[in-house]
Structure 1
Amino acid sequence: MDNLLAILLVVLIGWFWLDSLRAREIAVGICQAACRRQEVQLLDQAIALRRLGLSWRAEGLKLRRVYRFDFSEEGTGRRSGYLVMRGMALEDLSFGLPTRIEDA
């Protein structure tokens, strides 16, 4: 019984690790594309996990991850934004910048 519990724990830790790597990879891609659309520079080409939790909605129970990233508008200075992933899907993305109005 102890061996079965130990094997289950190792499998669970392995799944969590692989799931976290995949979610981070997707989040980095989303963040890079959003930075290009906003015409800002993603600094350090990295994002950092700030919070991890569980989210229960109609679709079921999923891991909710909040990532923070740094960007620069003009190549100088540093601003922070955040990205929220629920499972492997984007839930929220914020640069903390005013919305740009495009001229028609």
Structure 2
Amino acid sequence: MELALLILMIVIAWFWLDSMAKRERAILLGKELAARFNLQLLDETVACSKLWLARNSRGRMHLLRTYEFDVSANGADRLNCHLMLLGNQLGSWHIPPYQQPVQ
């Protein structure tokens, strides 16, 4: 019984640490995507909204995480976006169309 509890605690600790590392990766990727479109990532909005299992291109199972986040074009507006991480790799992403500010 104690061994099963210890293993469960180790698995929970691993999952928590892995989730924190993947969130940091999602923030980095979100910043890169936002910069590509001249947008600003609102860092504190990055949150994992979905979690499930999926296979990568080699057929190996990984956790597929969907992260929702907000970006802004001028600081006054917000665009809801998302990206998907399959393991540690960016699977897909979506940033909705927006009106470019006139300069």
User: Take 1:7 and 1:95, find their aligned partners in 2: how far apart are those partners?
Assistant: 42
User: Take 1:73 and 1:39, find their aligned partners in 2: how far apart are those partners?
Assistant: 7
User: Take 2:37 and 2:95, find their aligned partners in 1: how far apart are those partners?
Assistant: 9
Q: 1:45: Cα distance to partner?
A: 4.3
Contact 2:27/2:43 (8 A) holds in 1:
no
Query: Residue 39 of structure 2 aligns with which residue?
Result: 40
Query: Residue 102 of structure 1 aligns with which residue?
Result: none
Which amino acid is the alignment partner of residue 93 of structure 1? Answer: W
Pair 1:15–1:44, CA change in 2 (3 A): closer
Q: 1:64: Cα distance to partner?
A: 0.6
String of CA shifts for 1:60-89, please: whole Å, max 9, x gaps.
111010010111122222110001001111
User: Take 2:63 and 2:70, find their aligned partners in 1: how far apart are those partners?
Assistant: 23
Query: Residue 88 of structure 1 aligns with which residue?
Result: 88
What is the correspondence of 1:1-104 to structure 2 with a 5 Å cutoff? 2-57=1-56, 58-97=58-97
Q: Which runs of 4+ in 1 moved over 4 A?
A: none
**Gapped runs of 5+ residues in structure 2?**
99-103
Which amino acid is the alignment partner of residue 61 of structure 2? Answer: L
Query: Residue 101 of structure 1 aligns with which residue?
Result: none
Q: Determine what percentage of the aligned residue pairs are the same residue.
A: 32
User: Take 2:15 and 2:59, find their aligned partners in 1: how far apart are those partners?
Assistant: 20
Q: 1:46: Cα distance to partner?
A: 3.6
Query: Residue 101 of structure 2 aligns with which residue?
Result: none
Q: 1:16: Cα distance to partner?
A: 0.4
Pair 1:27–1:73, CA change in 2 (3 A): same
TM-score by length of 1: 0.85
RMSD: 1.5
